[in-house]
Amino acid sequence: MAVYVDPPLWPAHGTVFSHLVSDTSLEELHAFAAAAGVPERAFDGDHYDVPERRYADLVAAGAIAVEARVLVRKLIASGLRIPARQRSKALTVPLLERWNSVLPGHEELGFELLERWGEDHRKYHSRTHLLAVLEALDTLTDPALPARTVSLAAWFHDAVYEGIAGQDEEESAVLAQNRLTEAGLPAADVAEVARLVRLTATHDPAPGDYAGALLCDADLSVLGAEPPAYALYLAAVREDYAHVSDADFAAGRAAVVRRLLALDPLFHSSRAKTLWLDAARRNLQAELQ
């Protein structure tokens, strides 16, 4: 068991940064960082970003200094490494390209949304979730049918996120109404995007609501993940609600799981059912138990 730090070589925010990792567990890494006074906000999924001025302190505190390539090998061997595409901070460019394809000429709004999705307090409801929903829509959407309003709803559906169920969706819908009206979208399209965003509060579209079914299925696609990915999802959700006590979180999360299990159907499109339904029910039942 050891904690490693590489040289301060990575430029950002007017300085250069090192990476701090464990070769064994995140628990060990968090304990070392806390003891060394490294702030929680410096954690990025599988490592801490630490500025050059802290490098000597961390080595003195017991971190083993290694070359960057050695640190990467240690992290890979530990099984803790998160691929770059799953990192919220690494997704600015690919997400902005997607934004410009759905609403060209409004890059400033795209940057505003990316800033919202990249807020420090978000762990699960982050840019990685946004990309996962957009990719799920790619999988589910019939190319012959228009899907711009559904894509825009995906961008806005957690644009406001404070961890308050119902209020977050309502405020996100209002944000969509305001920003898309300012962008000059037709009123009918603006209303449809806002309607879809509000629908993610219940994930219960009416029969025949193709657009609503698409967005709800994409938003819940994580439920059908393989067990290791589902475990990461649960850990990130818990971090999103770090301000809630363990007992209150357990009670609230159990209520959410029971509500999801009670949804009939849980997924609406035939493709979503084929891809995710069986695994989702297994994951939810196991979590509840």
**Does pLDDT of 85 surpass 60?**
no
Angle in degrees, 0-180, between the axes of helices 107-117 and 92-102, rounded to the nearest 10: 140
DSSP for 67-89?
Answer: -HHHHHHHHHHHT-PPPGGG-GG
Structure tokens at 12: 């950002």
Same domain, 190 and 210: yes
Same domain, 123 and 27: no
Position 88 scores a pLDDT of 57
13 vs 233 pLDDT, higher one: 233
Same domain, 60 and 31: yes
**DSSP three-state, residue 3:** strand
Each residue of 14-41: pLDDT tens digit? 788 899 999 989 999 999 999 999 988 8
Same domain, 77 and 97: no
Task: For residues 81 and 252, give the distance between their C-alpha atoms in angstroms, rounded to a whole number.
Answer: 30
Position 222 scores a pLDDT of 96
Last residue of a domain, one of 42, 57, 81: 81
Domain containing residue 180? 89-288
- C-alpha closest to that of 111 among 91, 98, 96, 122: 96
CATH code of the domain covering residue 133: 1.10.3210.10
Same domain, 36 and 123: no
Residue that is written with structure tokens 């967005």 in the block:
215
Same domain, 49 and 162: no
Same domain, 52 and 143: no
Confidence of residue 148 (pLDDT cuts 50, 70, 90): very high
Task: For residues 156 and 183, give the distance between their C-alpha atoms in angstroms, rounded to a whole number.
Answer: 14
Contact 197, 191 (CB under 8 A): no
Same domain, 61 and 96: no
Position 195 scores a pLDDT of 98
Mean pLDDT across 136-146: 84
Distance from the Cα of residue 286 to its chain's centroid: 22
**Does pLDDT of 71 surpass 70?**
yes
Q: Which amino acid is at 283?
A: N
Same domain, 284 and 143: yes
Each residue of 167-220: pLDDT tens digit? 999 999 999 999 999 999 999 999 999 999 999 999 999 999 999 999 999 999
Bridge partners of 21, per DSSP, are 4
Bridge partners of 105, per DSSP, are none
Q: How many domains does the chain have?
A: 2
